[in-house]
């Protein structure tokens, strides 16, 4: 099997391998921050922490680019930690186990961290280089992008001097991104009355697994199944008189389409449950047979820990299950301006229910502020109607495309000269940090690009080796021309 560290460009892949040995979950980036600052010390670079904990490294221009304006290279340090169903993997202590599969780098059973690890690695490789031509470099490594863009939202003004920023967090090597969606996080919670059931009643778990999951922005238009929504559908079909809900857990991250969900239920009417469950599962399998070929919906007997089995009272279960089924999920509105672009969407992301308390959350996105507010209200509406406590954060802004971007025009020419064809220019439905960073630095000329990365935010995430080579060639040529 090929050695990842022997791949070209060698500097990029070695930096990526070093980075992936360091756990870096959102909101707990202390170890990767220490890694980056140690890297700076080893290479004699200036290192600064801003008040939000973001890391800024600075490197002087090479001799041939003296006197040129500084360029900001930006990527986020955190990654989504997700393992395949049933895999025991401790992200707090284990590095990512990578392997080479033809033209693809993959991880064994977990997210790869190419989002945004390849962007981080590319910046580190530029900073460590001794033979690349470049202007002064200001490398901005932000925190907590995957869990709400906390680092970018807290970015301290006045520490960066560059007026051009290259964001290295896109995932298609033939596309320059010049705009993105903003987002709102919605959290709902409800304390509920419990009912008791004896150990003589059938007690079982419903497991929904094998779904593709994926990025809740980039893949939301593909119609991938949401495991939490499927579970709500099954429970709604059965009804509270047939199956009493004891617990429910599903989802892995706020910005990932849920690929798994488990509910524990007490069966109150076995014949009716068997009929309804079989019919509903058959319908789901038929509907998703093409897009979710590995969908699995199974039941498993559960032995009560104690004789008493607490479930939701039936007068509580019905409204909460119906609210989950009614919650806006998927594409909310397509853009009337950019053909094929999702304007607004919603993803029911996470749920934790049991022992008298339920919490669930979702992420709503839009490239238009007014529709971002609208879709967030629509998502919250059924939960407010049942009396749940609903909290929505201030959200983060989108990034409006600029028709007069000097860096866009320069890079379009460089791309054409390097690869012999024109690059695509587009906005994306994912949340990039560019719009948020412009709050602290409003005069930046920004562009986002990157290598081909597939299935980000899922254990199927992979990165193309040949595309990474193309990405590195474009990045280094751009720096040499600035």
Is the pLDDT confidence value at 403 over 80? no
Distance between CA atoms of 324 and 383, rounded to whole angstroms? 8
Is the pLDDT confidence value at 35 over 70? yes
Distance between CA atoms of 280 and 284, rounded to whole angstroms? 6
298-353 pLDDT, tens digit each: 999 998 877 778 999 999 999 999 999 999 999 999 988 778 889 999 999 999 99
Please list the active-site residues: 78, 145
pLDDT score at 398:
87
276-287 pLDDT, tens digit each: 999 999 999 999
Instruction: Please tell me the least confidently modeled range out of 35-44, 59-68, 97-106, 430-439.
Output: 430-439
Distance between CA atoms of 185 and 447, rounded to whole angstroms? 25
340-373 pLDDT, tens digit each: 889 999 999 999 999 999 999 999 999 888 999 9
CA distances from 375 to 216, 245, 345, 381, 416 (A): 15, 29, 7, 10, 39
89-107 pLDDT, tens digit each: 999 999 999 999 999 999 9
pLDDT score at 307:
72
Tokens encoding 388: 């749940």
CA distances from 121 to 10, 22, 124, 450 (A): 11, 13, 5, 12
pTM of the model: 0.80
Go through the domains of the chain in sequence order and give each one's CATH number: 4-181+398-480 (3.40.630.10), 184-392 (3.30.70.360)
pLDDT score at 265:
97
Contact status, residue 439 vs residue 190, Cβ threshold 8 Å: no
Tokens encoding 465: 């080796």
pLDDT score at 1:
60
Strands 342-354, 330-334: pairing is antiparallel
């Amino acid at each position: 099997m090929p050695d990842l560290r022997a791949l070209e460009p060698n500097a990029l892949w070695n930096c990526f391998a070093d980075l992936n040995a360091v756990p870096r979950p959102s909101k707990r980036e202390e170890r990767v921050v220490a890694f980056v600052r140690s890297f700076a010390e080893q290479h004699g670079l200036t290192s600064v922490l801003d008040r939000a904990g973001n890391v800024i490294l600075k490197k002087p221009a090479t001799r041939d680019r003296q006197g040129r304006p500084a360029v900001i290279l930006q990527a986020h340090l955190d990654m989504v930690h997700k393992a395949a169903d049933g895999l025991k993997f401790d992200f707090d202590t284990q590095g990512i186990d990578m392997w080479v599969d033809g033209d693809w780098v993959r991880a064994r059973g977990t997210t790869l961290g190419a989002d945004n690890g390849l962007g981080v690695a590319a910046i580190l490789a530029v900073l460590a280089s001794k033979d690349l031509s470049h202007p002064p470099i200001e490398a901005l490594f932000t925190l907590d992008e995957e869990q709400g863009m906390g680092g970018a939202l807290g970015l301290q003004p006045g520490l960066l001097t560059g007026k051009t920023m290259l964001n290295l967090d896109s995932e298609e090597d033939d596309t320059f991104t010049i705009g993105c969606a903003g987002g709102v996080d919605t959290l709902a919670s409800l304390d509920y009355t419990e009912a008791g059931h004896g150990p003589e009643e059938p007690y079982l778990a419903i497991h929904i697994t094998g779904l593709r999951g994926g990025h809740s922005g980039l893949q939301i238009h593909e119609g991938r199944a949401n495991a939490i929504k499927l579970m709500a559908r099954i429970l709604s079909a059965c009804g509270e008189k047939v199956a009493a809900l004891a617990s429910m857990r599903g989802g892995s991250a706020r910005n990932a389409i849920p690929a798994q969900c488990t509910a524990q239920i007490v069966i109150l009417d076995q014949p009716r449950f068997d009929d309804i469950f079989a019919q509903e599962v058959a319908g789901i399998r038929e509907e998703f047979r093409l897009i979710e070929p590995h969908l699995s919906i199974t039941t498993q007997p559960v032995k009560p820990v104690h004789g008493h089995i607490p479930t939701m009272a039936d007068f509580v279960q019905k409204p909460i299950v119906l609210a989950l089924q009614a919650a806006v999920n998927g594409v909310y509105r397509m853009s009337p301006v950019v053909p094929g672009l999702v304007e607004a969407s919603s993803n029911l992301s996470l749920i934790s229910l049991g022992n008298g308390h339920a919490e669930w959350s979702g992420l709503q996105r839009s490239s238009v502020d007014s529709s971002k507010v609208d879709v967030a209200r629509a998502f919250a509406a059924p939960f407010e109607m049942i009396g749940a406590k609903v909290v929505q954060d201030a959200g983060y802004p989108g990034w409006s495309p600029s028709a007069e971007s000097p860096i866009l025009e320069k890079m379009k020419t460089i791309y054409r000269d390097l690869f012999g064809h024109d690059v695509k220019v587009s906005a994306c439905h994912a949340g990039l940090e560019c719009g948020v960073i412009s709050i602290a630095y409003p005069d930046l000329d920004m562009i986002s690009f990157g290598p081909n990365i597939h299935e980000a935010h899922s254990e199927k995430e992979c990165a193309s080796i040949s595309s990474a080579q193309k990405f590195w060639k474009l990045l280094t040529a751009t720096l040499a021309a600035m």
